[in-house]
Structure 1
Amino acid sequence: MAKLQRNTVLVVLSFFAIYFIWGSTYLWNKIAVTELPAFMLAGIRFLTAGSLIFIISKILGLPLGITKTQFKNTFIAGFLFLTFGNGVVVWALKFVDSGFAALEVSAQPLVVLLMMRVLQGKKIQPMSVIGVILGITGIFLLVGQKEIITQEGAVLGMFLIFICMLSWSYGSLFVGKADLPQNFFVNTGYQMLTSGFSLIFISFLLGETWSWPSQWSIPVLWSMSLLIIFGSIVTFTAFNYLLRFVSPEKVATSSYVNPIIAMVLGWYFLNEQITLQSIVASIVLLTGVYFINTKKSLTIFSRFSGKRIPK
């Protein structure tokens, strides 16, 4: 297999997508889940997005054939990222604000670092240790707010998001070394299509009540459209691209920017409350990303990153 080349422009655009566009998906999901069942919502989103990706790929003449191993790996990655990682987060949004959910997910880079240490034996450098300490401090500041944890279902929502964060973190490490389709667009399509079917199966298994799009409100229709086009096709393709060329803990830093975008949008469009403690938590978490993302703390991952490009 030919060696893939890193494109700096695509890397920058991909980071913009996972930082800012993905940060908006918390708002879109929160709007949609107020009317639609969580797994139905996620299932329709990814099944539609995956189908569109295959149609576009066919028009562009991209090869859609993959090996059995690649199909198995796309199914596993899709389950970790989308079926479980996203489907359950959407469910959790029934219990917590969109900004709060995004802030909790910002602990993902810490989990990635710890998983790399436990599963791959990678050292955690002093600068990264500082980032971990700041991140944990920020999370404690976030979840320690009485006005939030006393809300009905809030603790359940926090727990669900934490489990999803573990799934996403492990998925980031898995994708970095797995044999996946060479084309990132096609790779995304397979992950979304398999996850879409899985989520719909779960939805029927749980007995969720389905409805036709003609019954949805205008805000839900807009939210679903944005989730499919930008939140799924654009950003998840960018995410898969970055995981091939950038170390997983660096990609995971999107979790630090997403909360700021989510908090502002949730405050502006949904009148979600932004407490002083949440602001302080955000500042602490964003400071932590500097220490995790600084070159000094990433030099230890250079060998690992070099092995990420499929041969």
Structure 2
Amino acid sequence: MQAVSSPLAPAPNRLNLWANLISVYILWGSTYLFIHFMTERMPPLYMVAVRYLIAGGLLYGYARLTGTARPTWQEWRSAGTLGIVLLTISNGCLAIGIQYVPSGMAALLGGLLPVYLLTLNWVSFGKKRPSNLALAGLAVGLIGIFLLVKPDKLQGTGGVDAKLIGTGLIAVGNFAWAIGTLMTPRLNLPSATISSGIQMLVGGFASLLVSLVLEPVTLWSILDAPGKAIGSMIYLVIFGSIIGFSSYSWLARNAPPQLLATYAFVNPVVAMLLGTLFAGEIFSEQSFIGAIVSLVGVVLITLGRK
């Protein structure tokens, strides 16, 4: 869900800049904890589907009511394809993976997206060799991942096998998100808000179909959801999907890319703190070392971008 940037845009107001930056830092960092709360006692794919169908309907309706042109069939197809890759596959894997690993660890693994982007753009999409500094960051990031998920050091409610399953699912989700990100400039998409609405509607509908096949749910299972799950879903719809996205889109148009990229460093820290404080998540000493090493790798990759 990228916004088109304009090189001729005026310098942003500093207050707006920091307000939107803090919004992305805190709100997106908190989404991992609320995904955990939302899916504690409800099937994860079903709750992902409901979340995105509601958020997508609101965004699409808002865009049309404020005068955005009706998308063409090709734009629907392009945005819908992204919705399946980014939301059904990537966020679906994340929601399931959080059942097996602490939300803070899931956020840290998600923060390693630059590792996937760098590798895919090198070997497939762009065929561009990264700078030496970025390659050093890639190596450091991979070491951090190893330290973070090394089976004999993992702490949590599940066994080692569960943690490896969760890590694998989140890795697949990150890989899908990287593919979708690199696909975006190659697709014919409508304006940012209506494009995101389509992505959420199509991704939510696809998630619902998969959920109805694989999970013990019906269309009306949301009526049986506990209050904590409903409240968390509402939080994710408003603060994660709508406000958080709006802040990110504003930053994509008005902030330097290097500044915008810092959310990948801050979100995992916010998520780990919230998970420790409010979900009783436990991290071993080695996991914290792995977290620090991984973030150093992401910083080096960001600084090494040509």
Over residues 22-65 of structure 1, what are the superposed CA-to-partner deviations in whole Å (9 max), with x where a residue is unaligned?
11111001011111111110000000001111232244x23141
The two structures have a TM-score, normalised by structure 1, of: 0.84
1:181: which partner in 2?
A: 190
Structure-2 residue corresponding to 1:204: 212
The percentage of aligned residue pairs carrying the same residue is 29
**1:134 counterpart (140, 151, 176):** 140
Q: Give the aligned residue type for 2:114.
A: P
Q: Which moved more, 1:273-282 or 1:141-150?
A: 141-150
- Give the partner amino acid of 1:162: A
Tell me by how many angstroms 1:81 deviates.
Answer: 0.9
Q: Distance in 2 between matches of 1:229 and 1:259?
A: 21
Structure 1 residue runs of 5 or longer lacking an equivalent are 301-311
The answer (yes or no) to whether the contact 1:95–1:157 under 8 Å persists in 2 is yes
Q: Displacement, 1:130?
A: 1.8
Distance 2:119 2:21 in 1: 23
CA contact (8 A) 2:148 2:288 kept: no
| 2:240 is equivalent to residue 231 of structure 1 | yes
C-alpha change, 1:133 and 1:248, in structure 2 (3 Å) is: farther
Contact 1:112 1:248 in 2 (8 A): no
Matches within 5 A, 1:1-311: 4=6, 6=9, 9=12, 15-59=21-65, 61-118=66-123, 119-148=125-154, 150-182=159-191, 184-210=192-218, 212-239=221-248, 254-294=263-303, 297-298=304-305, 300=306
Cα shift at 1:180? 0.9
Distance 1:286 1:101, change over 3 A: same
Aligned length: 294
Q: Go from structure 1 to structure 2 and tell me whether the alpha carbon gap of 1:20 and 1:7 turns closer, same or farther (over 3 Å shift).
A: farther
Unaligned runs of 5+ in 2: none
For the residues of structure 1 that align with 2:257 and 2:110, how far apart are their CA atoms?
A: 15
Distance 1:199 1:129 in 2: 36
Equivalent residue letter for 1:115: L
Question: Cα distance, 1:290 vs. partner?
Answer: 2.5
* C-alpha distance after superposition, 1:259-311 (max 9, x if no partner): 211111010001100222122122212222322222xx23x3xxxxxxxxxxx
CA pair 248-199 structure 1, distance change in 2 beyond 3 A? farther
- Provide the alpha-carbon RMSD of the alignment: 2.7
Which residue identity lines up with residue 78 of structure 2 in the other structure? Answer: N
Q: Could you tell me which residue of structure 2 aligns to residue 309 of structure 1?
A: none
Measure the CA separation in 2 of the matches of 1:112 and 1:92: 21
